[in-house]
């Protein structure tokens, strides 16, 4: 790869540019660019004048005493017309005459160019730059997240601010892989202020997510939408028609979506007392660990697997779709949490998971974390009476050819072990 500083006068706009195909002359090629991309040519020229330079070196090939441009024809066209606006097609000539006076470019101004002699190598370079990703061989375009990251880093304009705010909010609430939720799809659903009010959210001046309803309601709704986007149950194509959007929003009513759309409260206005209303229906529960509950668990670096299992049970695995996976993941979480508690408290490991939990519960009662009644209630879950509401039922799901646990039995088991799990996970090492 060879770079040379060449005068603008030595550069020739390619009359056979792949962008437009064969044309009679350089002037014809320039005329085509303005006929099809006039406003963009003006915008590019204005950018060059403002920055006093171009940022990508044109790819050129020596032909006799000139250099024909194979990549960068728009840039070179703007440079040539800024240096000599007399060749600018109407009705853009007057604009370029004004830009020319401010640009400082002349036909002898030097431009850094990539000079290649081998046509095959030139064609390879063009293919990688203009034929998309080409299976990874070409240039990878930025997805909406990358564009937003760049805008935030450089102080530019973020195209998907509400989607990014939702992503940050979900991450803070423990939702796994929030950065894999398609921002463009989330943005299309949430950009309308009316819909934001239905969800109980709004974008604050600092581009963070504001809430106009209880956080647990918002978590339940947004995690449902995020799951649907990741599962491809909600796509950009689904959202192209208003009717499809309304049909999707109807499915969220069980999760607490507002049918009414009250405006976001203004902090400067006096808030009148709310009129009495019927008790609010709790959000639909479709995960073992309720995703509208904010657990205050401080996960430690060596608890990555436990955290992931918890997140799967709280946000990813649905009671009506993953009836076999949930018991297995639930039991794995119980086993890891119990093993950790016994290790950190220097206790004796039991011969089975049930016996190990019994040892841990007895210790929790001894140190005052569990009352005698709480310890007794939990001990009932450790028996083996073939009940579906005992720990052993989770074991039978793994080893039985036919046994499964109902949704209500799973929820009952969770409610029985919930506090124990939080205590076991949060326990500190005994010194």
What is the rounded average pLDDT for all residues in the chain? Answer: 86
For residue 271, the model assigns a pLDDT of: 46
The tokens of 21 are what?
């195909």
Does 403 have pLDDT greater than 50? yes
Grade residue 299 by pLDDT with cuts at 50, 70 and 90. confident
Grade residue 77 by pLDDT with cuts at 50, 70 and 90. very high
The residues near 31 (Cβ < 8 Å, ≥ 6 apart) are 89
Grade residue 7 by pLDDT with cuts at 50, 70 and 90. very high
- Note whether residue 283 is domain-resident: no
β-strands 110-115, 59-63 pairing: parallel
- Note whether residue 262 is domain-resident: no
C-beta pairs of 283-287 under 8 Å, 24+ apart in sequence: 283/216, 283/217, 283/220, 283/221, 283/254, 283/255, 283/256, 284/220, 284/254, 284/255, 284/256, 285/319, 285/411, 286/224, 286/318, 286/319, 286/320, 287/313, 287/314, 287/315, 287/316, 287/317, 287/318, 287/319
The tokens of 203 are what?
């974008």
Q: What is the pLDDT of residues 89-126, one digit of tens each?
A: 988 999 999 999 999 999 999 999 999 999 999 998 88
- Note whether residue 350 is domain-resident: yes
* Residue bearing tokens 């303005």: 34
- Note whether residue 277 is domain-resident: no
Both 57 and 177 in one domain: the answer is no
For residue 83, the model assigns a pLDDT of: 96
Both 202 and 89 in one domain: the answer is no
For residue 272, the model assigns a pLDDT of: 47
0.85 cut: is pTM over it? no
Domain edge (last residue) among 107, 136, 165: 136
Look at 292 and 326; give whichever has higher pLDDT: 326
Both 199 and 320 in one domain: the answer is no
Given a contact cutoff of 8 angstroms between Cβ atoms, the answer to whether 206 and 262 are in contact is no
- Note whether residue 13 is domain-resident: yes
Grade residue 431 by pLDDT with cuts at 50, 70 and 90. low
Both 153 and 186 in one domain: the answer is yes
Q: What is the pLDDT of residues 224-272, one digit of tens each?
A: 999 999 988 999 888 888 888 889 999 998 888 887 555 555 555 444 4
For residue 264, the model assigns a pLDDT of: 52
Both 18 and 37 in one domain: the answer is yes
Grade residue 87 by pLDDT with cuts at 50, 70 and 90. very high
Does 416 have pLDDT greater than 80? yes
Domain edge (last residue) among 136, 168, 193: 136
Which contiguous run of DSSP H or E holds residue 11? strand 11-12
Q: What is the pLDDT of residues 17-44, one digit of tens each?
A: 988 889 999 999 999 999 999 999 999 9
pLDDT, average across residues 370-399: 87
Secondary structure of 109-167 in HEC code, one letter for each residue: CEEEEEECCCHHHHHHHHHHHHCCCHHHCCCCCCCHHHHHHHHHHHCCCCCCHHHHHHH
Both 351 and 411 in one domain: the answer is yes
For residue 336, the model assigns a pLDDT of: 94
Number of domains in the chain: 3
Range of the domain at 235: 146-255
- Note whether residue 288 is domain-resident: no
Both 416 and 318 in one domain: the answer is yes
Q: What is the pLDDT of residues 162-210, one digit of tens each?
A: 998 999 999 888 888 888 888 888 998 998 899 999 999 999 988 889 9
Query: In the chain, how long is the greatest CA-to-CA distance?
Result: 96
Q: Any idea what DSSP says for residue 53?
A: S
Does 154 have pLDDT greater than 80? no
Q: How many CA atoms lie within 13 A of 227 on its CB side?
A: 19
- Note whether residue 286 is domain-resident: no
Does 426 have pLDDT greater than 90? no
Both 124 and 98 in one domain: the answer is yes
Domain edge (last residue) among 226, 255, 284: 255
- Note whether residue 431 is domain-resident: no
Q: How far apart are CA 431 and CA 425, in angstroms?
A: 17
């Amino acid at each position: 790869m060879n770079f040379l500083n060449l005068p603008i006068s030595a550069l020739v706009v390619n009359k056979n540019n792949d962008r437009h195909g064969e044309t009679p002359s350089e002037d014809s090629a320039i005329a085509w660019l303005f006929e099809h991309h006039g406003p963009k040519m003006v915008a590019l020229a204005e950018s060059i004048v403002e920055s006093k330079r171009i940022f990508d070196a044109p790819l050129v090939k020596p032909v006799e005493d000139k250099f024909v441009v194979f990549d960068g024809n728009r840039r070179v066209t703007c440079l040539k017309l800024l240096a000599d606006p007399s060749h600018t097609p109407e009705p853009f000539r007057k604009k370029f005459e004004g830009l020319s006076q401010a640009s400082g470019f002349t036909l002898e101004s030097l431009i850094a160019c990539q000079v290649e002699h081998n046509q095959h190598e030139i064609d390879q370079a063009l293919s990688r730059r203009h034929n998309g990703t080409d299976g990874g061989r070409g240039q990878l375009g930025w997805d909406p997240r990358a564009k937003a990251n760049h805008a935030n880093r450089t102080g530019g304009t973020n195209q998907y601010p509400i989607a990014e705010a939702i992503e940050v909010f979900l991450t803070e609430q423990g939702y796994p892989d929030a950065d894999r939720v398609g921002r463009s799809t989330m943005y299309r659903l949430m950009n309308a202020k009316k819909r934001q009010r239905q969800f109980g959210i709004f974008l604050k001046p600092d581009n963070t997510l504001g809430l106009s309803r209880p956080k647990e309601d918002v978590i339940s709704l947004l995690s449902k939408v995020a799951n649907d986007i990741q599962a491809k149950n909600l796509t950009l194509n689904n959202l192209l028609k208003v009717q499809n959007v309304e049909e999707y929003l109807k499915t969220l009513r069980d999760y607490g979506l507002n049918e009414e759309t009250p405006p976001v409260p203004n902090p400067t206005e006096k808030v009148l007392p709310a009129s009495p209303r019927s008790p609010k229906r709790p959000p639909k529960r479709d995960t073992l660990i309720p995703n509208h509950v904010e657990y205050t668990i401080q996960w430690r670096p060596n608890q990555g697997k436990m955290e992931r299992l918890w997140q799967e049970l709280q946000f990813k695995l649905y009671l009506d779709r993953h009836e076999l996976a949930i018991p297995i993941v639930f039991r794995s979480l119980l086993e890891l949490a119990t093993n950790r508690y016994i290790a950190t408290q220097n206790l004796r490991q039991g011969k089975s998971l049930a016996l190990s939990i019994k040892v841990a519960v007895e210790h929790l009662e001894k140190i005052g974390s569990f009352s005698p009644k709480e310890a007794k209630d939990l001990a009932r879950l450790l028996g083996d009476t073939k009940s579906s509401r005992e720990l052993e039922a989770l074991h039978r799901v793994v080893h039985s050819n036919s046994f499964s646990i109902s949704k209500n039995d799973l929820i009952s088991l969770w409610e029985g072990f919930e506090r124990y799990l939080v205590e076991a996970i949060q326990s500190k090492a005994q010194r």
